[in-house]
Amino acid sequence: MLKRSIMNPLEVRMGYKFRNGLLLAEALTHPSISLERKDYPFDNQRLEFLGDAVIQIAVTEHLFRMFPDFSEGRLTKLRTRIVSRTALRERGLALDLGRYLMMGRGADAFESVVGAIFLDGGFEAARMFLLQQMEETFGVLAGQPEEINPKGILQELLQALAPNAPEYELLSQTGPEHSKKFVCRVLWNGIELGSGEGLSKKEAQVAAAARALAERPWEKETRKTSPKKTSK
């Protein structure tokens, strides 16, 4: 028998040792397993429900203390950025939860793991886990709390040159339903300005706009078409 002080690889990655290992097993059990094994005792849907609520209150409290001068509206926007489905999926990917999931599926494992920690160690344990996992995210917010909008900035720049707005085209979508990868490109006046990928169409469009802003290919095209000055 292993001593309780010994942590399994996932617990090491998480920085948290479960008192009740069954809670972690439940958090990592995708509901699809019950379709094949009718007698299976649990899945992670209830823990996902609980974990989502814990994440909301923990992040809300931290933002409330982090930005004492921010209005309710600004705090709500920041919270939405942090607890979006895409953002939480990225946290799960950072922990490599997919390697440990029963059935190898389940995009909502991060929320269910938070719920399991809450039941196992209380709110403070869940809060500390979240702050640790989101340390980099909160660090970015501290230096740049306002959300950058590459699509809006790109459109404003281009429409100052011509009335046509940039258009976004979906190039591909690959992967299973719970973890698709999208690739989009942005076009303007027949010029491909850039492409990008993400876990949603919107995220891929934002990545494409950010790349266009970084490379600014429309300036090269403008120089090509500008009339050359002739010497007298």
Catalytic residue positions, numbered: 52, 111
What is the spatial distance between Cα 191 and Cα 166, in angstroms, rounded to a whole number? 10
What is the spatial distance between Cα 137 and Cα 201, in angstroms, rounded to a whole number? 22
183-191 long-range Cβ contacts below 8 angstroms, 24+ apart: 184/208, 186/154, 186/212, 188/158, 188/164, 188/218, 189/162, 189/164, 189/218, 191/217, 191/218, 191/221
- Residue 184: which residues within 8 A CB-CB, separation 6 or more? 168, 169, 170, 171, 195, 196, 197, 198, 201, 204, 205, 207, 208
Q: Where are the strands (E) in 30-180, listed by range?
A: 167-174
Please tell me what DSSP assigns to residue 199: S
